[in-house]
Amino acid sequence: MPSPFHFNPFHHISPIGDRVDALFWFLTFISVLITLLVFVLIVWFVIRYRRRNEDEIPTKTPSNLPLEIGWTIATFAIMLVMFFWGAILYIDMKRSPAPAANALEINVVGKQWMWKLQHPGGQREIDELHIPVNRLVKLTMSSEDVIHSFSIPDFRIKQDVVPGSYSTEWFTATRTGRYHLFCQEYCGTNHSQMIGWIDVMTPGDYNAWLAGTAVGESPAVSGAALFHSFGCAQCHGQIAPTLAGLYGRKVLLQDGTTVTADSDYLRESILNAPAKIVQGYTPSMPSYRGQVSEEQLSDLIAYIKSLSPAHIDAGPAPDVADRPTSIPNIPPAKQPPG
């Protein structure tokens, strides 16, 4: 079984991991080469130019300009290779894959001291994530308390999970197996216990696992229920902007700027609506800070996402347009808080 405690160069578990390893080995090779060169020269010069008798006075050595320019340019060039190689890899790792890539989108909530993960179909897991092999997996992560860091050393990925915003991380595992998951940011007493497993399965095994796992409501369905119970539809679509087709669209704000309606924008609007008022509307929405948990926030966003058909990740979307009153089996609306 692969393990981060074993030395596994070029293990070919994830494409990004291979690229990280290639850069790592390049840096190691250059470092070893230069260290050896320096040490060999030191030993050679110590012997070759040693003082041979008490009265010896060394002759003046002329400087060698071409040599000095040569090694300056050579090291500069090597540094530039390191810089661009590292920068390109970093950008590729940090840039979210295109929505068209058909990623398996997993919601992750970190809290002291566990990882809560949810599949698009509603299956929930704690400290363990089952995924199919050779499928792009995209994590949308938030924290309920302090900064955590979601790290899978075998895939060479690590991303801080920060309270108050979403961070994303993605990977494709190309080998089945069981891989360590770590929290890699000190987050309190039991930080070292905040560990788990990534189970990479064949697509068949994954489907069997999905089928055999109790399905809660999918995030979008839970979100629809929340949307209804908070009474959001009393305003949205009437005195507040309609949410159908909103996700991923550009929104024109009161101050004339535009913003893309992504998860962070929706999150901010739920918690602090006055921060970005849509043009033509007045700030009338109360803050839901403290009234919705991180998981409920993700659910609400999943629901709003499901109202933009191009962004439905997987699983059936709830059978609603912009009026949750048409959802079957949803409890009646409570009064909106505030």
The one segment of 15-23, 163-171, 183-191, 203-211 that binds ligand CUA by CB under 6 A: 183-191
Q: Can you tell me the distance from the alpha carbon of 116 to that of 109, in angstroms, rounded to the nearest whole number? A: 5
Residue carrying the six token digits 């850069």: 23
Task: Identify the H or E element spanning 226.
Answer: helix 219-229
Work out the end-to-end distance of the chain between its first and last CA atoms, rounded to an integer number of angstroms. Answer: 54
- State in angstroms the smallest separation of the CB of 40 from ligand CUA: 44
Q: Can you tell me the distance from the alpha carbon of 272 to that of 288, in angstroms, rounded to the nearest whole number? A: 7
- State in angstroms the smallest separation of the CB of 147 from ligand CUA: 8
Q: Which of 137, 187, 243, 285 binds ligand CUA (CB under 6 A)?
A: 187
Positions in 143-162 near ligand CUA (CB under 6 A) = 148
- State in angstroms the smallest separation of the CB of 148 from ligand CUA: 3
Residue 236 interacts with ligand CUA (CB under 6 A)?
Answer: no
Positions in 84-123 near ligand CUA (CB under 6 A) = 110, 113
| DSSP conformational letter for 167 | E
SS3 string of 34-67? Answer: HHHHHHHHHHHHHHHCCCCCCCCCCCCCCCCHHH
Q: Which of 191, 236, 267, 305 binds ligand CUA (CB under 6 A)?
A: 191
Q: Which of 20, 104, 194, 266 binds ligand CUA (CB under 6 A)?
A: 194
- State in angstroms the smallest separation of the CB of 91 from ligand CUA: 26
Q: Which of 131, 183, 273, 317 binds ligand CUA (CB under 6 A)?
A: 183
- State in angstroms the smallest separation of the CB of 170 from ligand CUA: 20
Q: Can you tell me the distance from the alpha carbon of 173 to that of 199, in angstroms, rounded to the nearest whole number? A: 10
- State in angstroms the smallest separation of the CB of 301 from ligand CUA: 23
Closer to ligand CUA by Cβ: residue 194 or 198: 194
320 closest CA partner among 215, 235, 227, 251: 227
The one segment of 32-40, 52-60, 130-138, 179-187 that binds ligand CUA by CB under 6 A: 179-187
What string of DSSP letters covers 252-313?
EBTTS-EEE--HHHHHHHHH-GGGSPBTT----PPP-TTTS-HHHHHHHHHHHHHTSGGG--
Q: Do residues 10 and 21 touch, judged by C-beta distance below 8 A?
A: yes
Residue 185 interacts with ligand CUA (CB under 6 A)?
Answer: yes
Residues at the site binding ligand CUA, with contacts judged by CB under 6 A: 110, 113, 148, 183, 185-187, 191, 194
